[in-house]
Chain A
Amino acid sequence: MIKVAAAACAAFSLLVVGPAFAQEADAAKVERGKQVYQYWCATCHGAGIGANGVQYLPGTNALRAKYKGEKPALLEERTDLTPELVKFFVRNGVSIMPQFRKVEVDDADLDAIAAYLARNNK
């Protein structure tokens, strides 16, 4: 009887705590993604100024020229990115951006970057 009660309690806890725990896990992943993004990505895709005479960093400048205001030039401000798209570009590169090895960005960190950049796509 005690066992049954304990099991019922556990199930109840999961029902109540589960989603909250999942939300916390998601928040932690997004926060980790932000940190990894700052280290590996923001140096080209961030908001700083670029080389002599260039107003934007290279990645931001490239996306600004590509989308001409239709989409934000800053990846962190995009609302249309999917995790799959982010992962594709990190592992394949594009134009002068090379691919990233797993010693640099492992799969867990890649999931985190993807979660961070896709956080506004709801």
Chain B
Amino acid sequence: MPLPLPPNVSAARFKDALARFDEIVGSRWVFRSEEDVMLYRDGYSPLRDEPGELLPSAAVAPDTVEQVQRIVRVANEYKIPLFPISTGKNLGYGGSAPNLSGSVVVDLKRMNKVIEVDDRRHFAIVEPGVAYFDLYRHIQERKLKVWIDCPDPGWGSVIGNSLDHGVGYTYGAYRDHFHSHSGMEVVLPNGEVMRTGMGALPGSKTWGEYRYGYGPYVDGLFSQGNFGIVTKMGFWLLPEPEAYISGTVFAPRRQDLIPLVDIVNYLEHLGVIGMPNYGSPMAPMLRDQAVREAVNRPGITEAELDKIAQDRNTPSWQVELQFYGEREAIRANWQAAQNRVKAAIPGATFKLNHEFRFPMTEPEKEAVPHKVALGIPNMAIFSIGARSELNPNPTDGHLWFASIIPKSGEAIFEAQKVYADAARQIGVPPVFSPFSTPATWMYRTFIFISGLPVSRSNIEENKKNRALFSKFIEAAAAAGYGEYRAPPAFQDEVARAYSFNNHALRRFSETLKDAIDPNGIFAPGRGGIWPKHLREKRS
């Protein structure tokens, strides 16, 4: 497959630009052959081997901020679009491929310094190539008394995940990885370096702790956008707690979900619990086709769904509650939570899952079933879609459809119907069932998420799943939901749904884009924001 050229750049000019990149980083770190550049294609691309597959023209891998600046200046001179990646592991949301074919990937993996970790004031400052595994290892080797909050795949970049609004598994504010950042260093489209928050103050001692500094707060421009290349960021860390408790609440009836969510919201928003994990004990039974077809029948009533669960002597819902802190206090909080649920939901039952004390030994850590809940990075999530005894036909990846819905039981019921109806409208079996539950990474909302499969070899299947993804975006917008994050192939569609007052938000971003990046060289199309000369490319 021939590599694309940057739009409107001749092969000769491009060759000259690559020679300039060679001078900056050394030819070893400029990737121009098809063999090397194709390693940057999105491993989970829904457009694989189709004409629209998003492919870079080359990649360049700097290891200092000065090199990034020089690369940006050359790119401006030659009008070459750049697409920065941190560790390039944003799989399901685009991987290491650009939004615009022909872009040069700026691979920041080599910028991998942990600059500072403070376990008394609980923050870290890192470079973009630092993976969660790396930061965790740094902390463990020094026996520092802090935890990180990590997403499912531990090989992701702490900075990259935050910039795509990635999420984790411990306490509310820490789980929102952009929210838990404090301060940035950014290379702007003109090659200048800027620091935000307290970093803007020379000699500041609180860059990683007070995020606002003084004046307008601009950090949001550098997340899910294309206004800068972030080369350093600060993050708040959790102090290592004394103890942890995990307990599960089971609620028998379908309508119990409404008071259950209200109680869990109360506990979480007061800071009593960390991340609640909702589920349904009925979910494993949906592997049985007869049960699956019964519960997914259009028009099925709440009473009928209750009867299906009761006939199987199975509660409709469960939620895992997690407590972190002083052992005596969290034991009391677990008891108090049970008392509150008992008073509101007749027939609710409870199970203590685990009680841990810290620090843990290595064998103790290894035995933890859900390691990310304790800030231990791992790769267990890659069991999704992988071959297993229950899944003899593995997928080749997935597209994450992730919509934000309100944090209530009623909203869960509504979203189940919205997405089931959307699938039926295009003749696809429902992906979400009446027993589907939301993800809870976001502190103040739920996420209804599904990984639609992708194939490396079956283009027709990819087309069907792209159609379903687009249908979900449309149905979500009609219901008042929007996506928090999306693969590049769908970022225009998602951004288009945020259309209040004739797309005032997008027009504002475009006004900024034209002013800050007049040559339009930074990540054209990222977040649905296109530079002026490429705006007609918007799908």
Q: Which residues of A contact B (CB under 8 A)?
A: 39, 43-44, 48-54, 57-59, 61-63, 65-66, 91, 93, 95-104
Contact = CB atoms under 8 A, between A and B. Distances in A.
A53 B389 CA distance: 13
Interface centre among A51, A61, A95, A101 (most CB of B within 10 A): A101
A38 to B, nearest CB: 11
B538 interface: no
B378 A62 contact: no
Given A43-B133, A43-B379, A49-B369, A98 B95 contact: yes
- Interface pairs A-B: 8 shortest CB-CB: A98-B43, A51-B380, A58-B382, A62-B387, A43-B379, A58-B383, A95-B394, A101-B39
B370 interface: yes
Given A49-B367, A52-B370, A101 B383 contact: no
A42 to B, nearest CB: 9
B386 A104 contact: no
28 contacts: A43-B155, A43-B378, A43-B379, A50-B383, A51-B369, A53-B369, A54-B380, A54-B388, A58-B386, A62-B386, A62-B388, A65-B392, A66-B387, A91-B39, A95-B385, A95-B387, A95-B394, A97-B43, A98-B89, A99-B43, A100-B39, A101-B39, A101-B59, A102-B36, A103-B59, A103-B61, A103-B107, A104-B109
Contacts of A93: 43
A122 to B, nearest CB: 29
A65 B388 contact: yes
Interface of B: 29, 31, 36, 39-41, 43-44, 59, 61, 88-89, 91, 95-96, 107, 109-110, 133, 154-155, 366-367, 369-370, 378-389, 391-392, 394-398
Contacts of A61: 383, 386-388
Given A43-B133, A91-B39, A65 B389 contact: yes
Given A54-B383, A100-B39, A102-B39, A49 B366 contact: yes
B39 A96 contact: no
Contacts of A95: 385-387, 394-396
Contacts, number: 99
A22 B382 CA distance: 39
B394 A103 contact: no
A39 B398 CA distance: 24
B27 to A, nearest CB: 13
A101 B41 CA distance: 10
B385 A103 contact: no
B394 A96 contact: yes
Interface centre among B40, B380, B389, B397 (most CB of A within 10 A): B380
Contacts of B366: 48-49
B88 A101 contact: yes
A51 B376 CA distance: 12
A101 B40 contact: yes
Contacts of A48: 366, 378
Contacts of A59: 382, 386
A52 B31 CA distance: 40
A97 B133 CA distance: 18
Contacts of B396: 95-96
B31 A102 contact: yes
Contacts of A97: 43, 382
A51 B36 contact: no
A104 B379 CA distance: 17
A63 B388 CA distance: 8
Contacts of B389: 65
Contacts of A62: 386-388, 394
Contacts of A63: 387
Contacts of B383: 50-51, 54, 58, 61
A102 B370 CA distance: 31
Contacts of A100: 39
A98 B44 contact: yes
A108 B44 CA distance: 26
A44 B398 CA distance: 18
Given A95-B395, A98-B43, A103 B110 contact: yes
A44 B385 CA distance: 14
Contacts of A98: 43-44, 89, 91, 95, 397
A61 B383 CA distance: 8
Contacts of A51: 369-370, 380-381, 383
B379 to A, nearest CB: 4
